[in-house]
Structure formats: structure tokens, C-alpha cells
Amino acid sequence: MAVKESILISLETRHANGIYAGTKQVELRRRPMNVVPGTTVWIYEKVPVGSITGSAVIKAVHTATPNKLWKQFGAISGLSKAEFFEYFSDVTNACALELHCAAQVDCPMPLSTLRELDCSFQPPQFFTRLHQAHPVQLAITASQ
């Protein structure tokens, strides 16, 4: 049986809320991500929340020009057209993680707890892989 992958990403609260509400069904990245469908995406909300607040599952990974991604996902990107193209202003190829099964956790895990589990923990700039034995992965899984 294949090992289920998990990653951790950092998002602004408005984007996390959009994912949980179902209005933002893709997570956009300026460069390709080497992740596969079925990967769990744990969501760390940036300060002032400063906690892991939920997760989603990657349904598909799309790499294309910003124009193509806008045509396919603009309506479910959680961004205005101006925000979208400003974000991708100097990018030739971009990445969209199509998400589903988004849910908030019952007990968010604050940064202080994450650092107790792993003293070198830093919220990721791009993303962090959480292997099965990673202390943060174990704590998240145990709290569910």
C-alpha cells in the first residue's frame, strides 16, 4: 500500500477561509510543485492566527501559463483578475493545486505548540513535506 503524503503550506487567513468555505478550490503557486493527487495539504494560517487550522486533499496538479490557469480556474481562485495577474506578473508557467475535501480542525495547533514538537519549526515559505514520523505530522494525526 502506498504511503499517503502530506505537505504543509502557509496561507493568509482570507485564503484559508475561502478554501474551507469552498469558494477557493485551487491553491496557486508561482512555481511547479512536485506533489501528487491524494496528498493531504495541511494549512497553516499566518499571523495573527499563527496556527494549523485545517486541511484539504489535492485532487489534481496543473502547470500552465497564467492565462490558461485563469481561464480554467479564475472563478474558483479566490482572487480578482487583477490580483491573479499581479501575483503571476513575471511568471511563464505557474501551478494550481486543485483541492477538495477541505475541512477545519476542531483544535487548531498554534505556532508555540509546533515549536515545542520541533524546536526548529518555521512556517514554510513555499511548502514543507511532512513525512509520517515528523513530530508535527504525528501530532496533527493524533489530534484528529
Asked whether residue 112 is assigned to any structural domain, the reply reads: yes
Of 4 and 119, more confident = 119
Asked whether residue 32 is assigned to any structural domain, the reply reads: yes
Asked whether residue 84 is assigned to any structural domain, the reply reads: yes
**Stretch 41-52: mean pLDDT:** 96
Quote the number of domains for the chain. 1
Q: Is the dihedral of CA 35, 36, 39, 44 positive or negative?
A: positive
Asked whether residue 1 is assigned to any structural domain, the reply reads: no
- Which CATH number is 29's domain given? 2.30.130.30
Rg for the chain (alpha carbons), in Å? 15
**Residues 94-112, buried b or exposed e (16+ Cβ, 10 A)?**
bbbbbbeebeebeebbebe
Asked whether residue 121 is assigned to any structural domain, the reply reads: yes
**Stretch 14-39: mean pLDDT:** 96
Asked whether residue 115 is assigned to any structural domain, the reply reads: yes
> Residue 129 and residue 127: Cα distance in Å, rounded?
7
Q: What is the pLDDT of residue 2?
A: 55
State which residues form the domain around 88: 6-143
Asked whether residue 50 is assigned to any structural domain, the reply reads: yes
Q: What is the pLDDT of residue 1?
A: 42
Q: What is the mean pLDDT of the chain?
A: 93
Q: Using 50, 70 and 90 to split pLDDT, how confident is the model at 138?
A: confident
Q: Is the pLDDT of residue 6 over 90?
A: yes
pLDDT digits (tens, 9 = 90+) for 84-124: 999 999 999 999 999 999 999 999 999 999 999 988 899 99
DSSP string, the chain: -PPPPEEEEEE-HHHHHHHHHTS--EEEESS-----TT-EEEEEETTTT-EEEEEEEEEEEEEE-HHHHHHHHGGGSSS-HHHHHHHTTT-SSEEEEEEEEEEEEEEEEEHHHHHHH-TT----SS-EE--TT-HHHHHHHHH-
Asked whether residue 79 is assigned to any structural domain, the reply reads: yes
